[in-house]
Structure 1
Amino acid sequence: MAYDRYIAICSPLHYQTIMTRQLYIILAMAAWCGGFAAPITNTLLALKLPYCGPNILYTYYCDCAPLLSLACADLSFQMSVGAFCGAVVILSSFSVILISYTKIILAILRISSKGGRKKTFSTCASHFTVVSIYFLPIMFVYIRPTASYSSDGDTLVAMLYTVLTPMMNPIIYSMRNKDIKIAFQRKK
C-alpha cells in the first residue's frame, strides 16, 4: 500500500504503467510468502523441544513465545533466533514503508499550492497512522531482549495490533469522508 501511494504521489503520470496487475500480484505474493516463511524457523525449532507440565497457554492467539514457555529446556537459542527473524521481517517491512513515506512527504512539500499539499498529505496520513498503530506494538512484542518477556504484557500489547488496529481502520479512514466530517461538526 505504501508503494502504491508512493507511485500515485511521486509519479502520478506513470502510475498506470508502473502499477500493473502483475506488480500487484508480485507485491501480494511477497507479503504472503514473507508472512508464511518468517514463523517457519521458530515453529521447526519449537517442534524439537521437550515439553512438560500442564501444557496450558493463557493467551488468545497463537504465537511461538507462549508455546516456548512450556518447554523443559534451555530456550536461549530459540528466543535469539525468534528475535532475529522478527527483527529482520518487521524492520525490513517498516523500513520500506518509512522510506516510501519519507519520499512521499518530500514530494508533498514540493507541491506549490497549499490546498494541494493538504489534500495530498491527508490521503497518506490516515495510512501512516494505521501503519504506526500496527508496527509499534509489534516491535515491542517481537524485537526485545528475552529477559523482558512477559506473557501478560505481551497479551495486552498484542491486543493493540490484533484488535485495536482493525477496529480503528474504519474510523481513521472514514475521517477523510466529507459527509462524516460534516456530521461530526453538526454534533458539536
Structure 2
Amino acid sequence: MPINFPCPYCHSKLVIPDHKSNKMMDCPDCSSAFYVPAIAKIPQGTSRPFPIGLVVAILGLFLGCVFTGVMYYRYHHTKTPAVANTPKPTSAKYDRRSATDKQTDASIASLNESLQPSQDAYDDEILARRIKRLILFPFALAFYFTPSIIAWYRGHANLLALFCLNFFLGIILIGWILSLVWALMDTQRNKPVVHYHFHKTDETVQNGHD
C-alpha cells in the first residue's frame, strides 16, 4: 500500500511505495536524501471480551423491576372499593321503616365514616406517592437508557441509530434487549493511526541540508 509522505525539506507530497519504508530515498523535486520511516499502526480501540456477567445482571435487574411493577399494580388495582351504605334521605311522610332499621342504617353510616380516612390524610398519601415517583423517576430513566449510555461510553460507531432504537422501542422488552446487545458489541472504528518520524542522516548533513 503506498504511503503519503511529505518531503522534510521541500515539503512536497510524495507517494512512496510501502517496500521503500524504513529506507533512504531521494526527493524527486529537490533531490534531497531523507529517511522514510516505518509505519507504526496504532489502533484506536482494542477488542474487548463480551461482558456476559454484566448482561445477565442488567437483565435480572430489569426483570425484577418488571415483576415488582406488575405485583404493585395488581395489589393496588384489584381492591374492591368500599360500598357506601349510607341510607338515602327520604321524606318523613313516606319513611315507613321500623326504628330498628333506622338504627341499623345509622350504625352502618357512622361505621363507614369512622373507617374512611380524613381528607387531610388522603391528600398526604397522594403527596407521598408523587414524591416517591419523582425520586424513582431519574433511576428509571437512567435504567431505560442504559444501552445508550453504554454505547456512548464505548464510543459506538452507530450511536445515533442505537439511541433511536433504545428511545422508540426500549419500552418493549425485546427492543431494550436488542439495544443492549448492540451496545455491547465491539463495533468501534478500528482505523489505524499512522505516525511518521524522519531523522536526519550523516549524508544529508554532509550535503549541507539542515
TM-score, normalization: structure 1? Answer: 0.34
Identify, as 1 or 2, the structure richer in strand.
Answer: 2
Larger Rg: 2
Higher relative contact order (CA 8 A, sep 6+): 2
**TM-score normalised to structure 2 length:** 0.31
* Structure with greater helix percent: 1
